[in-house]
Amino acid sequence: MGQKSTYIEVGPEVGDAIADGAAVVALESTIISHGMPYPKNIETAREVEAVVRAAGAVPATIAVMDGRFRIGLSAEELEVLAKSADVLKASRRDLGVAFARKLTAATTVATTMIGAAWAGIRVFATGGTGGVHRGVEQTMDVSADLQELARTGVAVVSAGVKSILDIPRTLEYLETMGVPVLGFETREFPAFFSRESGSQVAHRVESAADAAGIMAAHWNSGLGSGLLLANPIPAESAMDPDYIEGVIARAVADAEAAGVVGKDITPYLLARIVELTDGKSLEANIALVKNNARVAAEVASALAETPRLRSPANRVRSPE
């Protein structure tokens, strides 16, 4: 299987589903360890997996456990991530350290994409991806998620990018890197907590089957990048854009005053926004994650029915 096989372990249910060509949806683990407080984090993780199952796919929550990618976490492993206070938040740059030191680490969007691709999983559901941060001209803070979308052939279903980011610049970056951004039943790029951002996507898709067809054509033609399927938060759970923008501006100012920078800024801002909205943003976050999981499962099911879909180029293959 090559050297990569040293650093990956696929759970039995997920492995069987991949071997059978069934629908599988990758799920990240940072939302468990760094995105929500206990026990809301473990409750949400279980509910999201249940949504994937109800929509006809197998969930594969991904993390690094004892120095190896674990593709499809057990109930016990979910509890470890949910309760531990010192779990590493691992992006691509951190993987070698986590592997060598046999650490347990939660995966970001970027590293979940890597683990999914190694296992042969094509569809991944998250809340929102990273992007270009506000004030990038001073900080040069651009999420590794964007570069991963450009290099790793996994489709990411998200509620756009977090509205704490610079959305127009994020979309410009993705265009420059050749990453298709598809709006699921919309031309308006969603802004995580709200359905509107003022920015448009180049292409609207009308259904899961429509999205799956585009993904298959993209990969079968040899275009190796990922795709971003932007799926707006359900209307009943969306927050008023002007209200949440004001909250975000205050949270950003608080982060600057506290000297929070780098990979700590997103968890800080999201936690501060929960405080400032009296928990309403957390409920919106949970609603959009579940909605993304449902759509991802529908897309994965449609993709599983697509003939001759090429496997990811960097998949860890079993010996013949």
Q: Catalytic residue among 49, 77, 89, 162, which?
A: 162
Tokens of 66: 């004892």
DSSP of the chain = --GGGGGEEE-HHHHHHHHTT--EEEE-SHIIIIIS-TTHHHHHHHHHHHHHHHTT-EEEEEEEETTEEEES--HHHHHHHHH-S--EEE-GGGHHHHHHTT--EEE-HHHHHHHHHHHT--EEE-S-B--BBTTHHHH--B-HHHHHHHHS--EEEESBB-TTB-HHHHHHHHHHTT--EEEET-SBPPBTTBS--S-B-SEEE-SHHHHHHHHHHHHHTT----EEEE-PPPGGG---HHHHHHHHHHHHHHHHHHT--GGGHHHHHHHHHHHHTTTHHHHHHHHHHHHHHHHHHHHHHHHHTSTTPPPPTT--PPP-
User: Residue 108: how many CA atoms within 13 Å on its side-chain side?
Assistant: 23
Residue 28 annotated in active site? yes
**In angstroms, rounded to a whole number, what is the distance separating the alpha carbons of residues 150 and 155?**
11
Residue 49 annotated in active site? no
Residues classed as catalytic: 28, 162
